[in-house]
Structure 1
Amino acid sequence: MKFRFVYRIFKGLVKARPSEVVAMLWSFGYFFCLLCAYYILRPVRDEMGIQTGAENLQWLFTGTFIAMLAIVPVFGWISSRIPRRQFLPGTYVFFAINLLVFSAFFESGTAPIATARVFFIWLSVFNLFVVSVFWSFMADLFNNSQARRLYGFIAAGGSTGAIAGPLITTTLAPVVGPTTLLPISACFLLGAIACIMRLSIWSREPKTSTPRDGIDRRQPIGGSMFGGISLLLRSEYLLGIALYMILFTLLSTFLYMQQAFIVSAEIPDSGERTALFALIDLAVNALTLIGQLLVVRRIIGRFGVTLTLILMPAVAIFGFFFLGLFPTLAVLIVFGVVRRAGEYALSKPAREILFTVLSREEKYKVKNFIDTAVVRGGDAVSGWLFEGLRLLGAGLSGISFIAVPIAVLWTSTAYLLGQRQEQLRAALNAKRTYPFDEPEPDTPNDTESGRSTEPAANPYTGPR
């Protein structure tokens, strides 16, 4: 009786089905633990960046990119040979042990500047790597139809963790010191492992057995250690996703650098700047959580992935245009909050759906390469490009206007990717057979009455 009551709540909120509620909640908890662990550490990383010297930050970004290039083939080699049920928990145990080692170095005072630099790069790698692995797992666990309904709620788990982490840091850092936060963060990573184990059990239950595609998801992914790079270069679809992320990273870095110049000019006091950044983060995380719980499923369900993907690139066109006309703090804050909240609430879940039509090797290896090496490479290149334009006399307004055609290209790329994803999804559905003769309809275009207006895109309700 209690379960039915819980099910009715989630059915109205996210249209989850009885067999999906448990996995959805564990996925929510998994992402909560993951981002809570990261956001506990983020202020510590920022402090480490200041200790190494603000003038050296661009070199830290470059160091992060080099570290990504070194890690990607190692990740490919490990994922090719170790089953998912061992590989995923092992990844988080490795990072948890790293945190304990860093904590010991900080407490002992050994090589503080070198340790601070290494920690800054490590956490920048950790952030993208573990989140990429999480979404790869989600794409492997849920099929395309489920992703459209459940990803918004699952992503809200991360937003909740992003709110809880800073609250923990704010409460405990003045009492126990920043370095003591590292073991606390490690505990949340262990919590993520518990969620992974429960999700692995759920995926093997008979009522959620996978479609008959002949793939045993308990086995290693296979392929070579450089499989992600080679698969990327052979696929126009994957190259399109990489281009989408490069354009996203380029514009994000431009806006971040403009924020640094405008805020430092408008607000000279360090304490006031810190308070402003905290207020912006709070507004972004609150709007993101609302969007993930109440908006994203309805937009993706009613209008599809394509429209959802192009929303934030379209916002970037107008945002940079107005920022070029009025390079003020008020315009910057409004544009920055809307862009970041929209990215986390809408673009991120829609972007992850792009990977649900791919093979397991593509989901883990190519996605990880794009989310880590490509994104961090884009950070490094964009930072130097911004500085070059500024030295050439472009100015903040000029750089904003330069960003407008880039945003137009980003919008076009998003549209083409969304259309291609729909084509691949239709082709994939046509090849599959399902364990139920009369599956419940499940389409991306539900009406207000809950009845479908077109044939089911993917009627299977179990994990892939």
Structure 2
Amino acid sequence: MTMAHLRARAEAAVASVVAVRPHEMRPLMSSAATFFFILSAYFVVLPLRDEGAISLGLDTLPGLFAGSLVLTVFAAPVASLAFSLPSIPKPRVRITFPFLSWMLKNSVEHGNKMGVFRFFGISLLVFFVLWFASTPGQSQPIALLIFFMFCLIAKSSEDDSNDPAGWRKHSWFYIVVRISLFLWVALLNLIAISSTWARVIDVMDSESGSRLFGFIGAGATLGQLFGSLFAASMAWLGPFLLLFSSLLMELAALSSKGICIDTNHDLTELSGTGVDQVQNTEADDEMSSLVTSPTSSFQSRKSKPQFFIMFEGFWLILHSSYLIYIALFLWLSAVVSSVFYFQKVTIIATTISSPTARRRTFALINSFIAVFILAGQLTLTGHILTVAGVTVAISASPFVAATIWLPLLYGRLGLLWLSLKQLERYQ
């Protein structure tokens, strides 16, 4: 069976579940594959990151979260500036950044996205070396050079102490590597996903996005499920998970090459969508009444220096109450998610002593979350949005969070009651 035949069968299978036009097939498949590999890479390394944070002590988690917040606040506008600029000329890259000239090879023609993914993939390889070098008793060169013996090395690569007593018992090198990985993975998640969505939005219009974004989101969910299951089954590999995550980032870079506009499709197919374009224009006019911009994108880029482009998003939000409410909703959602994350890490750290078991538990929890998300996308989400609408669905989020809080509160009260009973018995 030839590759062309396999590709034709895959395209037929995709066309049976989503309304896709022939010229949209390549960007659709490439977008879904890119998100699949990005989320897989992220959730493969996520349990290792959380385990490294636990080894520093639970009291360090608020500081790590604050550091992630500060890093993303500064990184988000800088990334927006980088992605909004035109492709970097190759001679300038070679002269200014010799290393980046190799890393960005073949990425200039694809919106600099391949270079972003490859940069993060290489950084994960660097963290693999640093992790081994900072772990007591695991800095032997053989552990870094001979990959085919990774099974034997990984089984002996656990930390000497399984008790998350705090960072004071570790060397400064150990602490710096764990903190850096925690912050770097958060940055990877932000830039890789946001840059890919920015590229997808540039390629697809609002009409095609309404048809195809669900399939692309399903690819991301499948990536979360695959990465979590892989991390759960291979938790004993320890830092070698960084190697697999780096490989997945390279696959994401290769997949992103297909996220482009197909200029070779028939003009008759475009003329057939004239009615849809009129409807989309009316919808865009209605949305523009909610999201107002003081200047058009073209005018703003002409009237402002390129450095100030990174702050254009802030100005758009400040001049629109609609966007302010969306930002406030996302901020409150992040606060609630952070509280749940602290509860999860605290429970796992206090009940499980083995680093491998903790990594496996983190990965299994992420797997269950991915299963529930995928089931909801396939069954409930579409019906809820169709029947109740977006406003009702978003407004129901606090009630869902409160429902989840009840078992946690009941468990906490149960533990307190048992502790009081133990004190009464000793008295």
Aligned residue number for residue 58 of structure 1: 62
Contact 2:235–2:360 at 8 Å: present in 1 too?
no
Shift of the 5–230 alpha-carbon distance from structure 1 to 2, 3 Å rule, reads same
Contact 2:232–2:363 at 8 Å: present in 1 too?
no
Shift of the 79–281 alpha-carbon distance from structure 1 to 2, 3 Å rule, reads closer
Contact 1:24–1:150 at 8 Å: present in 2 too?
yes
Contact 1:13–1:294 at 8 Å: present in 2 too?
no
Q: Distance in 1 between matches of 2:379 and 2:179?
A: 40
Shift of the 6–94 alpha-carbon distance from structure 1 to 2, 3 Å rule, reads closer
Pick from 150, 156, 179 the counterpart of residue 218 of structure 2: 156
Q: Bigger shift: 288-297 or 67-76? A: 288-297
Q: TM-score if structure 2 supplies the norm length?
A: 0.64
The offset of 1:154, in angstroms, is 1.4
Q: Deviations over 1:93-117 (max 9, x none)?
A: 2212211221222233382221111
**Matched position secondary structure for 1:137:** helix
Alignment of 1:285-364 (within 5 A): 285-297=370-382, 299-300=384-385, 304-320=389-405, 322=406, 327-328=410-411
Q: Match of 1:181, as an amino acid?
A: L
Aligned residue number for residue 44 of structure 1: 48
Q: Match of 2:230, as an amino acid?
A: I
Q: Distance in 2 between matches of 1:330 and 1:4?
A: 58
Contact 1:77–1:224 at 8 Å: present in 2 too?
yes
Aligned residue number for residue 253 of structure 2: 193
1:78 is aligned to 2:82: yes
1:97 is aligned to 2:122: yes
Shift of the 293–233 alpha-carbon distance from structure 1 to 2, 3 Å rule, reads same
Q: Distance in 2 between matches of 1:276 and 1:329?
A: 20
Q: Match of 1:233, as an amino acid?
A: L
Alignment of 1:107-122 (within 5 A): 107-109=132-134, 111-122=173-184
Q: Which runs of 5+ in 1 are unaligned?
A: 332-464
The offset of 1:187, in angstroms, is 1.6
Q: Bigger shift: 111-120 or 302-311? A: 302-311
Q: Deviations over 1:443-463 (max 9, x none)?
A: xxxxxxxxxxxxxxxxxxxxx
The offset of 1:260, in angstroms, is 5.3
1:241 is aligned to 2:330: no
The offset of 1:270, in angstroms, is 4.1
Shift of the 148–310 alpha-carbon distance from structure 1 to 2, 3 Å rule, reads farther
How many pairs are equivalent? Answer: 322
Q: Distance in 1 between matches of 2:384 and 2:190?
A: 26
The offset of 1:160, in angstroms, is 1.5
Q: Deviations over 1:266-322 (max 9, x none)?
A: x845468777655543322112223334444455466654444444344235555x4
Aligned residue number for residue 339 of structure 1: none
The offset of 1:248, in angstroms, is 0.9
Pick from 221, 224, 229 the counterpart of residue 167 of structure 1: 229
Q: Deviations over 1:322-381 (max 9, x none)?
A: 459x623899xxxxxxxxxxxxxxxxxxxxxxxxxxxxxxxxxxxxxxxxxxxxxxxxxx
Shift of the 45–36 alpha-carbon distance from structure 1 to 2, 3 Å rule, reads same
> Percent sequence identity over matched residues?
27
Shift of the 198–269 alpha-carbon distance from structure 1 to 2, 3 Å rule, reads closer
Q: Deviations over 1:184-222 (max 9, x none)?
A: 21221111122211122x444445879799999xx9996
1:33 is aligned to 2:33: no
Q: Distance in 2 between matches of 1:232 and 1:258?
A: 32
Q: Deviations over 1:114-145 (max 9, x none)?
A: 11111111112222332222222233332233
Contact 1:52–1:113 at 8 Å: present in 2 too?
yes
Shift of the 283–248 alpha-carbon distance from structure 1 to 2, 3 Å rule, reads same
Q: Which runs of 5+ in 2 are unaligned?
A: 88-107, 140-172, 282-295, 415-427
Pick from 180, 184, 199 the counterpart of residue 137 of structure 1: 199
1:125 is aligned to 2:210: no
Q: Match of 1:327, as an amino acid?
A: Y
Aligned residue number for residue 146 of structure 2: none
The offset of 1:57, in angstroms, is 1.1
Cα RMSD of the aligned pairs, angstroms, is 3.9
Q: Deviations over 1:403-433 (max 9, x none)?
A: xxxxxxxxxxxxxxxxxxxxxxxxxxxxxxx
Q: Distance in 2 between matches of 1:5 and 1:264?
A: 44
Shift of the 51–6 alpha-carbon distance from structure 1 to 2, 3 Å rule, reads closer
Q: Distance in 2 between matches of 1:8 and 1:204?
A: 22
1:67 is aligned to 2:71: yes
Larger RCO, structures 1/2 (Cα 8 Å, 6+ apart): 2
Shift of the 32–3 alpha-carbon distance from structure 1 to 2, 3 Å rule, reads closer
Shift of the 146–327 alpha-carbon distance from structure 1 to 2, 3 Å rule, reads farther
1:282 is aligned to 2:344: no
Q: Distance in 2 between matches of 1:165 and 1:296?
A: 23
Contact 1:141–1:203 at 8 Å: present in 2 too?
no
The offset of 1:224, in angstroms, is 1.8
Q: Distance in 1 between matches of 2:126 and 2:11?
A: 43
Aligned residue number for residue 256 of structure 1: 341
Shift of the 301–138 alpha-carbon distance from structure 1 to 2, 3 Å rule, reads farther
